[in-house]
Each structure stands twice: as C-alpha cells, then as structure tokens.
A and B are shown apart, each in its own frame.
Chain A
Amino acid sequence: MIKVKSTGLRAAANVCSHNGRNPLTAMFACDETILGQGYAVYCLFEDCHAHDIKVVRAQFEINEELKYESLTPLFPSAAWYEREIFDMFGIEPVGHPDLRPLVLHESYPEGFYPLRKDIAADADIHGERDFKIATAQGEGLFEVAVGPIHAGIIEPGHFRFSQAGEAILQLDAKLFYTHRGIEKAVEGKTVDEALFIVERICGACSVANTLSFCQAVEKLSEKSVPRRAWLIRTCLAELERLYNHVGDTGNLCAGVGFTVPNNIGARLKELLMRCNEQVAGNRFLRGMIVPGGVLFDIDEEKRNVIASTLDIVEKEYERLVQILSEQDGFLNRVKNTGVVLKKTAIDLSMVGVGARASGFRRDSRKDLAYGIYPELSFDVITEQAGDVYARLLVREKEFMESIELVQQLVDLLNTEHTSELRVEDLTYRAEEGSWGVSESARGSDLHWVMLDKNQKIYRLFVRSASYPNWPALPVALQGEIIPDFPLVNKSFELCYACLDR
C-alpha cells in the first residue's frame, strides 16, 4: 500500500496507474477518526501483470479541510466514485467537472453524510436537496422522461432523454433508487451477521457478492480454505453465471419483441434455477458459501442433477444461438447498435461482458487468478465491434465456456475424495484493509473490508460489476433512437440493486 497525504493523492494515483495501463478498479473513503487518524481516501488500481491490486491511501489529518484535487480529469472512471465519496462523506474533489449528488436523492438534507461515524446507522433525518438532471437545451430539442417505475418487471431507475427528433442527443440516468444503506447496515456486525446481508445485496449476483466478501475476510485470517470448498464455490459461481447468461440472452430478444427465443431463454433459465434449488436449497444459490469454506457438499446425487441439466440446456442453447444467427431482421437491429469503442471502455475502466465485447480484455478469473481458476482451462472471450451483437456473442460463447468449466469441476468433485469443507473459528487481523474479487456474470465484483479490534465490520465497500459499466450506457446510446434503449440496456444487463446497495 502506498500511503500519501491528501495533497499527494493525484500524483501518487498517476504513478500507480502506470500511465493509464493499470485500470482504476475502485475508489472510496473511510472515516478512520475513531482509530485516531482522520479520513482516508483509497484508490485501487488493477495490475494485470502482477495479478494484484495496488492500493493508494490518501490521509486527511484530523481537522484538516476535507478537500483534495479531483482525479476525474485524469481518469474519467473516477467521476462516479468521487461523487459518491462527496455524497457519503463530504470529502470534496476540487476540480470535478460534475459534482451533482449521485446516491442520495431529494429527501436527504444538504450536509448529511451518512457514512461518517458520528451518524447513527438508523438516523432518520429528512430535508431537501437539489437533484438536477442533466439535459440538453436548444431550439427544437425536447425531453422524454422514463421511470423510475417501468412498464416491465424490472428494477427502478429514471432515464431522461434529450431528443433531437428521433435521435438521442443525451441521456442522463438517475439511479440509486434501491439504496438501502447496506454499507452502513453491516458496520458493527460480526462477519457472520454481515454475510447474511451481503448475500442479499443483489439476487442475480448472490454468489459473486458472497464469494468476494468471503475472500476479503479470509485474507485477514491465518487459515486457508480447504480445496474441496474451492471446487464447490467455483462450481456455484459458474452456475450463477450460467443462469444469468441464458436469461440475458432471452431477455435481449424481448428488447426487439422476438418472442420465440425469449421464451426458450426463459425456459432454460428456469431449468437451471431448479437445478440450483436441488444443489443449494435456494434458486439463487443462497446459503451455501461461508467464510472458511462451504456449508455442505455437492454429493454424487447433486452432481448427477447438474450433469443431466447441463446436457439438456447445452443442446437447446445451441439451437437458440443458431436461430439468432440466422434471423436477418434480428441481426439488422443488433448490429452497429449501441457501440462502445475500445478507447471508451478503457477510459471508463469497464469490466465483464461490456468490456470484452469492445476488445478490452479483462477477466478477473485470469487477471487476478483467484481460487482454483489458474488450474482450470478456459479462454477469455473477446469481440471487437462493441455493439449489441458483440455483447450477445461474448455472452453466448461464455455460456458454452462456463458449461465446460462446470463439467471440469464436476469431474474433479467426482475424482477427488477429500472431505474437509470448512475451516471454522476464523480470527481476523484488525484495522487492516483487505479486498476480494470474483467474476460475476456482469464482470468483476469487488469487496473491500476492514474490521475493528472486536472483530466487527468497521468498513465494507462494495463495487459491483455494474458500477463501472453504467456510465457506458449513455455513451453507447448517443445518436441512437429511443426504441433501441431497451435493447442496448439489456445487452449490458446491468444490476441496479448491486449498484445502489
């Protein structure tokens, strides 16, 4: 960890980013006044060559003015992080081009900084603040407002389109509607108590969030997780990627009203979720991963269920892929729509399918080589076009790859007969930050945890895969038409709940 004064953050971050070669993975603050140190801003950069994350910590002395030179002019990907830090802690990035509120909407008063330690977790403070939506002004331009409550069964977000005729000139998204204050809720809880909440940050990324959190806390203990637990965890993580990918493939077709593949996707997803229930007792695979390992085994009966489900799903998915590749009407809609250039993907430090479809080769399973992924054989799938079709292709190929990965894992579970599933009674080092990462269906999901002397959570920061990818959506939509919005949105398939926390 590189420790600097608050005034030295920008220079240190610049060095750590290695001239932009190391993407900015996350940025957050921590109120360390109780530890006698004042506030701190952390910047995490991913060093792909060293398979590691470099941490820069900028320290504010007690009573020092909470201002620092903004990083956004250097790294566009810092824009949202800095807005969130200002919302939650009141630490001001001087020179930020757009310091509107991000997380806290109109009912919170100005000057209310909920993640400061002197604010109670259940503080019931009401007031008013300005929440401006960015719009384009000019003769003949008009606005279209959509949400937060949408027409379909989807999560809440408000989208404001500035239109020049049919073309979208600008889109501003007001998100964080499902902000539940989870990072504050877990403070003061034990790791086990917090785990239960972490598992419920997001339904579709339950395994990814749990796995990232567990890895982060496990790094703070001396014990290592048994091998069989890692096999099972990885199997669960890939099962989660599978049901998401197949559901997303189907949903994308709903974006153009193509109902046959939409229903095939929905059916295959249902088969996979039933398989999940048979494996874990919960259709979202909740309640299996714990710090130190897993709670129960994937026994032979369950392995057979997985193998037979995958057999059916693989064949039908191949057919689905073929249908999509042969439909000219469909291809006409998805090709060259919602393009994100590689340069944009790099500037925004995008992750997951969104990054890989634009030729930005990032996959935390390879880049950070966690768990048993280094022993498994798989490729990082990339496409170059960066359009809706490229994101669909990446998803399709990754689906097939994940099936192979689960098959490899089932074979390993069949042949290896170690029985230890969990190390218990973990003790954790206090007042030391630790990160954990896992690759969800949407990309790398990062958790940063610090515990206090009583083994309780002092700070948890969650940067889900959707966080860096959301700002790419307005970019992808510039010049497109509103009817393409659902299609482009679904091609990214971003979580709201993970982002909002």
Chain B
Amino acid sequence: MLKLLEAIFAGRIQTEDIDTVGSKQFRGELNCNTAQCDKCGECLKVCPVSAITINEYSRPIIDYKKCVFCGRCVEACTGCALYHSNLEALPEILANSSVDVGRVIDEKTGRSLHVRHLDAGSCNACDFEMGALSNPLYDLHRFGISFVASPRHADVVMVTGVVTRNLEKAVHMTYEAMEDPKVVIAVGACAAGGATYGETYAIVGALDKVLPVDIFIPGCPPRPSAMIVALLAAADLYLERSKIIVDK
C-alpha cells in the first residue's frame, strides 16, 4: 500500500501541452524544394498508395488522405527536393469549422463531448494511439472529452481502419445507433484514403464509401496530438449542427 501511495504522490506524471511537432527523425508533412525538383517523376512510381500527383507547375502534390508517411518518395527523389518536415500533417476538415486548440470543449458546447471508437478493419496502430489519448501525458479528459461505451451515448464516432466486408454491417449499425446530430471522423490513412492494402475481395474501401465523413486525420497512424486537434474541431462542428436542429 505504501508503494502505491508513494507512486500517487510522487507527482512524476505530468500532463503536457499539445504539440504538433515531432522529434527530429519524425516523418511528418512532405515538402518539396521546387528549385531542386528535376521533375523525374520517381516519387509517383514508388508511392505504394498512389498519393502523389503532379500539378500544372510540375510540382508534386500529396494527398494526405492516402499518404502513409513511409518515406519511400523521399528516398527515391533524385534531386533531393522532397523531404519530410517534423510537423504533423493536420486533420482535413470538410465543413466550416475553426480549430482552436487552446479552448476547452465546455466553452464550445456547454457540456462535454462523448466519443465512440469504431474499428472498421484497422491494424490496431490507430487504436493504440487512440488509447494513448487517455494516458496521463495527453489526458484527453481535461478538454471535456470522454470515450463512451455505446454509440447511443456518443456525439462523435472515430473510425479506424479500412472498412472490411466482415465489419460493414457493424459500421452501419453503429452509425444508425447514434442520435443526431453526429460527427464522423476517419482516423488514419486506411479509413481516410482506403488505399493501404489495395482492393481485395475482403475490403469494401475507405470510410466515405460507407458513411458521410466530416473530418479526416492523416497519418499511419496519426499521432495522438493530431487526434486531439481533430476532436476539438469536431466539437465546433457538433455545435453548428446542434444549432441547426434547434432552429428546425
């Protein structure tokens, strides 16, 4: 018992501010130094998920819904133009919403935000990172966000993984069980882009083939901090939708 109390009072567990900058080695957002780009197109060829296209100025454009941040394009780049910055690629929000990390959910909605996790066919990496949100360092609860056990209690559903044939029905049923208004977040490259494993007999596809998606979080898997940014945006969206329902 003494050890337990000692551990509680040692005060070593410290919650941190949310930071979207990774370590030096972190493979984050892709940048292209256009002056060095020799337009060889090697990056297109090596990308396993076809996330790169070339725009009218011959610059590579990255589709972060699909990108898995594997680093193959950077390795293949002949002119050393492409490089990973250590900044996270931030969530892509498909509706009007302002992201303000500093404010807590309470100010936005007047109450806490309830989130349901739904694994649609994930490799467990996104799920692991979502689990990390509750650890003392990220402490999601301080923002007034909690994970709930049932979709009936949820305002937001966070979906991980590419939708598989064996889970398609469960994905629909979970969504249907939620009350309006509801917000759907596609977590990671599988749910957002659906290109990770290609097309097989067992895969239905990216989440937007099955449900209307509001927010995409890039990454393979996204870091917990990117998920928190997305959840704070989800609170904005949720508030907007609640107003619409009240007006009706």
With A152-B149, A266-B132, A326-B1 known to touch, is A181 a contact of B118 (CB < 8 Å)?
Answer: no
**Any chain A CB within 8 A of the CB of B12?**
yes
**Any chain A CB within 8 A of the CB of B71?**
yes
Query: Once the chains bind, are B25 and A286 in contact (CB under 8 Å)?
Result: no
Query: Once the chains bind, are A203 and B117 in contact (CB under 8 Å)?
Result: no
Residue of B nearest to A195 (CB): B48
**Any chain A CB within 8 A of the CB of B103?**
no
With A155-B119, A260-B7, A263-B13 known to touch, is A149 a contact of B170 (CB < 8 Å)?
Answer: yes
With A154-B127, A260-B4, A282-B27 known to touch, is A107 a contact of B168 (CB < 8 Å)?
Answer: yes
For chain A, residues 181 to 210, give those with C-beta under 8 angstroms from any C-beta of chain B.
Answer: 181-182, 184-185, 193, 196-197, 200-204, 206
**Any chain B CB within 8 A of the CB of A125?**
yes
Residue of A nearest to B151 (CB): A149
User: Which B residues are in CB contact (< 8 Å) with A153?
Assistant: 117, 127, 130-131, 147
User: Which B residues are in CB contact (< 8 Å) with A202?
Assistant: 123-125
Query: Once the chains bind, are B128 and A180 in contact (CB under 8 Å)?
Result: no
User: Which B residues are in CB contact (< 8 Å) with A320?
Assistant: 7
Closest CB-CB distance, A203 to chain B, in whole Å?
3
Query: Once the chains bind, are B124 and A155 in contact (CB under 8 Å)?
Result: yes
Residue of A nearest to B69 (CB): A282
Q: With A and B bound together, what is the CA distance between A377 and B130 in angstroms?
A: 36
Secondary structure of the B contact surface, majority rule:
loop
Query: Once the chains bind, are A287 and B70 in contact (CB under 8 Å)?
Result: yes
**Any chain A CB within 8 A of the CB of B217?**
no
Query: Once the chains bind, are B123 and A274 in contact (CB under 8 Å)?
Result: no
User: Which B residues are in CB contact (< 8 Å) with A326?
Assistant: 1, 3-4
Query: Once the chains bind, are B22 and A277 in contact (CB under 8 Å)?
Result: yes
Query: Once the chains bind, are B147 and A286 in contact (CB under 8 Å)?
Result: no
User: Which B residues are in CB contact (< 8 Å) with A280?
Assistant: 25
For chain B, residues 54 to 80, give those with C-beta under 8 angstroms from any C-beta of chain A.
Answer: 68-72, 75
Q: With A and B bound together, what is the CA distance between A31 and B166 in angstroms?
A: 24
**Any chain A CB within 8 A of the CB of B135?**
yes
**Any chain A CB within 8 A of the CB of B53?**
no
Query: Once the chains bind, are A270 and B135 in contact (CB under 8 Å)?
Result: yes
Closest CB-CB distance, B92 to chain A, in whole Å?
21
Size class of the contact patch on chain A: 35 or more
For chain A, residues 265 to 291, give those with C-beta under 8 angstroms from any C-beta of chain B.
Answer: 266-267, 269-270, 273-274, 277-284, 286-287
For chain A, residues 138 to 187, give those with C-beta under 8 angstroms from any C-beta of chain B.
Answer: 148-149, 151-156, 176-182, 184-185
Q: With A and B bound together, what is the CA distance between A279 and B91 in angstroms?
A: 25
**Any chain B CB within 8 A of the CB of A319?**
yes
Residue of B nearest to A189 (CB): B198
Stretch from A9-17, A116-124, A467-475 that touches the partner: A116-124
**Any chain B CB within 8 A of the CB of A411?**
no
With A201-B123, A295-B75, A497-B123 known to touch, is A270 a contact of B70 (CB < 8 Å)?
Answer: no
Closest CB-CB distance, B153 to chain A, in whole Å?
11
Residue of B nearest to A283 (CB): B223
**Any chain B CB within 8 A of the CB of A316?**
yes
Which residue from B25, B162, B199, B223 sits with its C-beta under 8 Å from A278?
B25
Q: With A and B bound together, what is the CA distance between A182 and B130 in angstroms?
A: 24
**Any chain A CB within 8 A of the CB of B150?**
yes
Q: Please, could you name 10 A-B residue pairs with CB atoms under 8 Å apart, sorted by A?
A: A107-B168, A107-B169, A177-B167, A180-B202, A181-B200, A281-B27, A286-B220, A287-B70, A323-B3, A327-B1
Chain B interface (Cβ within 8 Å of chain A)?
A: 1, 3-4, 6-8, 12-13, 22-27, 48, 68-72, 75, 84, 117-119, 121-132, 134-138, 147, 149-151, 161-162, 164-170, 174, 196-203, 220-221, 223
Given A185-B200, A282-B220, 16 other A-B contacts at CB below 8 A?
Answer: A120-B201, A149-B119, A152-B147, A177-B121, A179-B165, A193-B48, A197-B48, A197-B198, A200-B196, A206-B125, A264-B13, A277-B25, A287-B70, A295-B71, A323-B3, A327-B4
Q: Give the top 4 A-B pairs by smallest Cβ distance, nearest first.
A: A203-B125, A181-B200, A151-B149, A181-B202
